[in-house]
């Protein structure tokens, strides 16, 4: 399909990415060499922040043993949970300060990687997590970071964002220095992921790439990464869910590429997802999967060339219509056992007005191509009650 849309080549943009992305099966067992060669840290105290499920699967011990054999003093800390609180992050940061930690190596899903970023900041700066939300520029920088994802969705190892729960509310901390010096993409660490996790995190990655492509902040590089990530996910996610290990390794890489596309930021879909999860707690990727078709509907009046490009990429070239693309996303979620309606997500329809209000007041997205309108958003949420995409597209048409 001839491309009729591309971001302005002369527009101002900043694209952030790890200085080194090191991949390969077993790559995480080479962290000693990576610390030495990439960060010039050849000895001393290292904090290993880990996902408890990865520890229980026996995947951390070989990595820790290899670091110790390379001469590092390793301090391993888990217990971050699915939604890390400021209290746990601050506690681990205090322990790391006392141990004179020189670098933070995060191995896990988004909650662990996000926590690692904030801990790295707190190692060099005063205060606690709650003092570092919003856009921050720490005067003393952050401790050296190496991030290793063990799920196929968050892309946190490539982004400037870290989420932390403060007083029961999810808050974002945004800092360019959170993008690590090194990201390690090791397919061995995702080979035993449960199917439900593959589905949820893979759809999270698809939401990242698609929303970043819709963003008014999209740049030449972010758009390039978005498109490739969508292609890889559309072509491999369902196969990965069904047990294809090569497809799963590809989805892991697609998640990382989608994370790099997040330089452009996400749009309405993530706001909808936060509102859904606020009403009924669920994994982030599950809420993003439910929200994405309706984000497409709300933003149906994109620049025509961009709309055709998104639709064609999401459908594998079968259609240039956004309605068909939204249907494809909804169907994919269903085939992987994810909720497609408010009813399936166990959300009471009576919550619709509050979710619409919350979307506007607490989760605005200035980079969304269409301004948020509370009444339209309420109509959009109502269309989710039964998964009625026709209603969603009709409610947000002009």
Q: Where are the domains of the chain?
A: 20-190, 195-395
Residue 149's pLDDT band (cuts 50, 70, 90):
very high
User: pLDDT tens digits, residue range 162-211?
Assistant: 999 999 888 999 999 999 999 999 999 999 999 999 999 999 999 999 99
Residue 328's pLDDT band (cuts 50, 70, 90):
very high
From residue 282, alpha-carbon distances to 230, 278, 347 in Å are 24, 9, 11
- Give the tokens for residue 325: 């693309």
For 20-190, the fitting CATH number among 2.60.120.260, 2.30.40.10, 3.40.50.720, 3.40.50.1970 is 3.40.50.1970
From residue 221, alpha-carbon distances to 33, 152, 226, 391 in Å are 30, 21, 9, 35
Q: What pLDDT does residue 168 have? A: 84
Torsion angle of the four alpha carbons 279, 283, 284, 286, in this order, in degrees rounded to the nearest 10: -90
Q: By the 8 A CB rule, do 49 and 112 touch?
A: yes
Q: What pLDDT does residue 396 have? A: 87
Average pLDDT over residues 251-260: 98
Average pLDDT over residues 314-322: 97
Query: Which residue in 159, 152, 332, 156 sits closest to 255, CA to CA?
Result: 152
> For the chain, what is the largest distance between any 2 Cα atoms, rounded to a whole number of angstroms?
64
195-395 falls under which CATH superfamily?
Answer: Dehydroquinate synthase-like - alpha domain (1.20.1090.10)
């Amino acid at each position: 399909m001839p491309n009729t849309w591309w971001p302005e080549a002369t527009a101002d943009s900043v694209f952030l990415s790890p200085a080194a992305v090191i991949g390969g099966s077993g790559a995480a067992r080479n962290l000693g060499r990576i610390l030495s060669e990439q960060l010039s840290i050849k000895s001393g105290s290292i904090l290993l922040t880990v996902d408890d499920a990865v520890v229980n699967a026996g995947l951390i011990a070989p990595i820790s043993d290899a670091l110790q054999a390379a001469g590092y003093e390793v301090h391993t800390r888990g217990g971050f949970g699915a939604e890390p609180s400021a209290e746990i992050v601050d506690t681990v940061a205090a322990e790391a300060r006392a141990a004179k930690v020189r670098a933070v190596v995060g191995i896990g899903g988004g909650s662990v990687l996000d926590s690692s970023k904030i801990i790295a900041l707190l190692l060099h700066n005063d205060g606690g997590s709650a003092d570092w939300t919003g856009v921050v520029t720490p005067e003393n920088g952050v401790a050296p970071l190496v991030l290793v994802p063990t799920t196929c969705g968050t892309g946190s190892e490539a982004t400037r964002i870290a989420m932390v729960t403060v007083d029961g509310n999810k808050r974002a901390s945004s800092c360019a220095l959170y993008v690590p010096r090194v990201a390690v993409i090791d397919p061995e660490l995702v080979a035993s992921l449960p199917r439900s996790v593959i589905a949820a995190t893979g759809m999270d990655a698809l939401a990242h790439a698609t929303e970043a492509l819709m963003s008014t902040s999209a740049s030449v590089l972010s758009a390039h990464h978005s498109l490739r990530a969508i292609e890889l996910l559309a072509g491999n996610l369902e196969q990965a869910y069904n047990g294809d290990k090569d497809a799963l390794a590809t989805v892991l890489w697609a998640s990382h590429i989608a994370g790099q596309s997040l330089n452009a930021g996400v749009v309405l879909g993530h706001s909808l997802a936060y509102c859904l999860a606020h009403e009924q707690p669920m994994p982030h990727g599950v809420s993003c999967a439910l929200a994405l078709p309706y984000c497409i509907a709300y933003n149906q009046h994109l620049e025509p060339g961009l709309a055709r490009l998104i639709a064609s990429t999401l459908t594998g070239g079968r259609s240039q219509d956004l309605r068909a693309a939204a249907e494809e996303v909804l169907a994919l979620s269903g085939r992987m056992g994810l909720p497609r309606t408010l009813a399936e997500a166990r959300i009471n329809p009576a919550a619709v007005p509050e979710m619409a209000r919350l979307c506007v007041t607490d989760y605005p997205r200035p980079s969304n191509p269409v301004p948020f309108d509370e009444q339209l958003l309420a109509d959009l949420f109502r269309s989710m009650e039964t998964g009625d995409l026709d209603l969603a597209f009709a409610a947000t048409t002009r």
